Structure 1
């Protein structure tokens, strides 16, 4: 494995708070950077992932009085499991965590893959309570690649128990598979497992893939700002980006991260941070516009 660069080790060393809140009968875990109050960001992970996929991204988004929070959706990470899961429930968890973590004003929600679906659902349900919604490589015409793999029984079936940490880590790979910076992949893998009876296993609940997909028919003009990000080599095609752009009232910028796969935080993290910082800076100093037609 290559030596991690300074920006990465500094990000992991940044002060972080761990907290829990409750929503609809389940405890929801989160991690928070920056001071409470003022503006805030909530980071929403993809299916079978967890808040620590953002460990090297979140500290780089803390600027001024901005509070950055990454949650574990129920059924993921260190949050409780449920009997059933839905986009509506996960959307409610975003608002609950934002309040519990001390974000004083309507947050910007940034969601990747499945988390992008949840972000759009939160914007539909609670648009007036959000400043903006950023969706990263989430093709809402289709189910997520994680859910497709689960339905086709290629991944995310009954959780396997491994005899050792090393054995578990050797089986980690993103879905869909892609290149990743090895030091980031190692960190994400190491934070994806937990001790269970008989050994080590993954933290997510396989039942999270039992929900229904979010389709473009649910896309409409929203009460908050929206931006669409896509990896150049990700799963959100230019054609699907155009469909989403049209359905969102032709007012959501579409931003491509060069040479990035679906999991942008694994292979092009600094390009992602730069794009997010630029977008947030613009939103801080401009007024929303709508399609004049």
Structure 2
């Protein structure tokens, strides 16, 4: 199932305090799509599967994953299809992303494993764990649980209805996909663009991300993200798919929430989801923290998770 190792980065990566490149890189073949996999920690240590959010990539965990690895774990993350160093696909869907997740998990172990997901990665894991609870032992959602707020639900309802204009726009985008390109710029410009989506993250961190998550073309730098993928390019997803099943969630869960709203966040609070959690759920709120909890507070987040895993 594993393919060739991934090549080196295409530009010099600036230093960022606490960040550490993966100890190993490899690929997994997920139904014909090459998925880039990154690992921190000893290869024979207890594995943790780490799943990133939408429009992100595995190296966004560079300051967080090493802390878990130093705690004695083998931390495995991967670039979702169309993201980072993974291959682009003809189609993107929630179910395809879940199949890729399971392909990576299978490449690590066929025994039950620990899973941590941020944002969309948390929601993917909710569905995967509900479908295959025997494959997982404990789950941590880092602001990874959407809620049925009116704005999100109305947008998803419209998309799910598959009206003629929606289908036409989708087909037109697919038809143009071979010629679509993301806007080029310097690495500094890419970092500044990302700052509009992540206003709480420092420019030093965003420059670090741009140096890892972008490629250099003849006319400038572009994020290594399929231009077909937009804010909802991974397919329809309704919050009710999760909340209706949460009361019977099959394994212990730690749900971590921030308190500050951000453009890329779910806007879901611990209070919103409290009625849906089973008694086994532990809830922790990080004060004065936004959607990217593990980037704003990597040490506090890692320590919280390590205490859970050692209990």
Q: Shorter-chain-normalised TM-score: which range?
A: 0.7 to 0.9
Gaps of 5+ in 1: 152-157, 283-293
Q: SS of 2:49's equivalent?
A: strand
- How far is the alpha carbon of 1:63 from its aligned partner? 4.7
CA 1:112/1:161 → structure 2, altered by over 3 Å: closer, same or farther?
same
**Residue 216 in structure 1 maps to residue 220 in structure 2:** no
- How far is the alpha carbon of 1:65 from its aligned partner? 5.0
- Give CA deviations for 1:25-79 in whole Å, capped at 9, x if unaligned: 2010011012223421111111100001101111110156521011101111111
Q: Is the 1:67–1:103 contact (alpha carbons within 8 Å) kept by the matching residues of 2?
A: no
> Which moves more between the two structures, 48-57 or 233-242?
233-242
- How far is the alpha carbon of 1:196 from its aligned partner? 3.3
Partner Cα separation in structure 2 for residue 29 and residue 201 of structure 1: 18
Q: Is the 2:182–2:227 contact (alpha carbons within 8 Å) kept by the matching residues of 1?
A: no
Q: SS of 1:173's equivalent?
A: helix
Output the aligned Cα RMSD: 2.7
- Show the 5 A alignment for 1:19-30: 19-30=26-37
1:122 pairs with 103, 119, 128, which one? 128
- How far is the alpha carbon of 1:22 from its aligned partner? 0.8
1:79 pairs with 71, 79, 86, which one? 86
**Residue 137 in structure 1 maps to residue 143 in structure 2:** yes
Q: Is the 1:84–1:207 contact (alpha carbons within 8 Å) kept by the matching residues of 2?
A: no
**Residue 171 in structure 1 maps to residue 196 in structure 2:** no
- Give CA deviations for 1:79-103 in whole Å, capped at 9, x if unaligned: 1112222222222222222332x44
CA 1:129/1:89 → structure 2, altered by over 3 Å: closer, same or farther?
same
Partner Cα separation in structure 2 for residue 188 and residue 130 of structure 1: 30
**Residue 32 in structure 1 maps to residue 32 in structure 2:** no
1:225 pairs with 236, 252, 255, which one? 252
2:24 pairs with 17, 21, 30, which one? 17
- The residue number in structure 1 matching 2:204 is 183
Q: SS of 1:84's equivalent?
A: coil
Q: TM-score, normalised by structure 2?
A: 0.75
Q: TM-score, normalised by structure 1?
A: 0.79
- How far is the alpha carbon of 1:163 from its aligned partner? 4.5
- Give CA deviations for 1:141-172 in whole Å, capped at 9, x if unaligned: 24999xx8xx9xxxxxx653324333333322
